[in-house]
Structure 1
Amino acid sequence: MAHVSLTAQTRTEFGNGPTRRLRRQGLVPGIVYQSGGDSLPLALPGHDLKRTLVEGRTAVIDLVVGDARPQPVLVKDWQLHPVRGDVLHVDFQQVDLKVEIEAPIPISLVGNSVGVRDGGVLDQPLREVVVSALPDSLPDHIEVDVSELQVGDSLTVADIQVPQGVTITSEPETVVASVLAPTVEAEAEGDEGGAAVEGESESGAGETSDE
């Protein structure tokens, strides 16, 4: 995966007041956790940061801080405004491109399953999987084909195919996706059965009364 470039400046003021001033200037506070060194507080252009998160949050970022040489980092975490969706804070982790790391990767279901065409409901209890790989080999997402799933079938982590150089470290028995039997029809049948029982009960009561 190609690297993404991002520039930043060091941040020397902290607290609510300086942070609000940064955001009014269109900047986002952040931090880089450096391997074997102190963490580095940053201020990043909000527009560029949001574009970076959209284009590839698992991609290696060549982060340039001031006049320093670019350093490879990965997005570790970020916080969003609950209403506007603006990035409020971001954490980066410095990485060694020659050392494997673990990272969560989103799962994308593809295909129209047989079970869904037969009226079943597709359920996806697992939205991401943890993998181990070199930073440059981390996929942006992992596709899981559900085309062959019938009602009652499921796929687990063990069924996922990943690119060469990528190893899944999540529990292999964890269910990724399944096709559930439709519940609406079952509920409707139950209601009809209940109505019939009520009708029979009323009829029986009437016959007893006539006697």
Structure 2
Amino acid sequence: MAWELVAEERRVSGKGAARKLRRMDKIPGVVYGPAVDKPLPVIVPGNKLKKLIYEFGEETKVVDLVIKQVDGGERREQVIIKDIQVHPYRRMLLHADFYALAADQDVDVDVPVEIVGEAKGVKKGGVLNVVLHSLLIRCLPKDIPEKIEVDVSELDIGDVIHVEDIKDRFSFKILSAMDAPIVAVTPPEGEEAPAEGESEEEGGEASGE
């Protein structure tokens, strides 16, 4: 599905002008990146931006930004929402940063992790702990995935999946630390995982010894 957001070229600046825009449900923003010669100030409709943020959740998606120019023309840029500034207690949108993508240049983006499958350790009473909820990757804009699936079906109690364990499964490059744990199955509270090479039946002392 193509996501489109219509913006206006912004010629006013300053805190007073920004407050006036927000009262009209218009959010000041800026477009920057390798696809533009210099940062381009824009105005985006607050209700449309909120809808995009709600729809995207934690996913990184490419947006077709249509910029209506002051001279009556328009330009289109493929962007990702790089940063959103939100008022600390009013929860209102204050400013948006859009990163303009160059089709032939790699981009670094955070992509959410989605856990799939049911760990066999969980079936035994273990607890699934997700440590990393997103991974930093590098790829061309057209190859940005909506999410990175991590299958935990074979995880037993005490097992951990690290970034290094999945790095060769995808066409993109993962930049997150290779030794970082993504997900683990920990023992039920009050129990310890069996030592390496020791089965659950062998754990502890045999009765009668």
Letter in 1 for 2:29: G
Q: 1:163 to 1:62 in 2, by over 3 A?
A: farther
Contact 1:124 1:176 in 2 (8 A): yes
Q: What secondary structure sits across from 2:13 in the alignment?
A: coil
CA contact 1:34–1:40 (8 Å) conserved in 2: no
Give the alignment partner of residue 138 of structure 1, picking from 137, 141, 144. 144
Segments of 4+ in structure 1 off by > 6 A?
none
Aligned-partner Cα distance in 2 for 1:83–1:181 = 39
Q: Give, as a single letter, the amino acid of the residue that structure 1 aligns with 2:54.
A: V
User: Match for residue 61 of structure 2?
Assistant: 59
Q: In percent, how many aligned pairs have the same letter?
A: 36
How large is the RMSD of aligned CA atoms in angstroms? 2.2
- Of residues 178, 188, 191, the one that matches 1:182 is 188
Aligned to 2:110: 104
Say if 1:17 and 1:126 are closer, same or farther in 2 by CA, change over 3 A.
same
- Structure 1 unaligned runs (5+)? 187-211
Residue number among 71, 77, 93 corresponding to 2:77 in the alignment: 71
2:167·2:174 contact (CA, 8 Å) conserved in 1? no
Structure 2 alignment gaps of length 5 or more: 192-209
Larger mean Cα displacement after TM superposition, 153-162 or 112-121: 153-162
Aligned pair in 2 of structure 1 residues 165, 147: CA closer, same or farther (>3 Å)? closer
1:1-211 correspondence to structure 2 within 5 Å: 2-35=1-34, 37-56=37-56, 57-66=59-68, 67-83=73-89, 85-160=91-166, 165-183=171-189, 185-186=190-191
Q: Which is higher, the Rg of structure 1 or of structure 2?
A: 1
> Shift of the alpha carbon at 1:6?
1.0
Does the aligned pair in 2 maintain the 1:142–1:162 contact within 8 Å?
no
Report which stretch shifted further, 134-143 or 2-11.
2-11
Higher helix proportion, which one? 1
More deviation, 56-65/174-183: 56-65
User: What is the alpha-carbon distance in structure 2 between the residues aligned to residue 162 and residue 85 of structure 1?
Assistant: 40
Deviation at 1:11, TM superposition (A): 2.0
Aligned residues: 184
State the TM-score, normalizing by the size of structure 2: 0.78
Displacement of 1:16 in angstroms is 2.5
- Per the normalisation by structure 1, the TM-score is 0.78
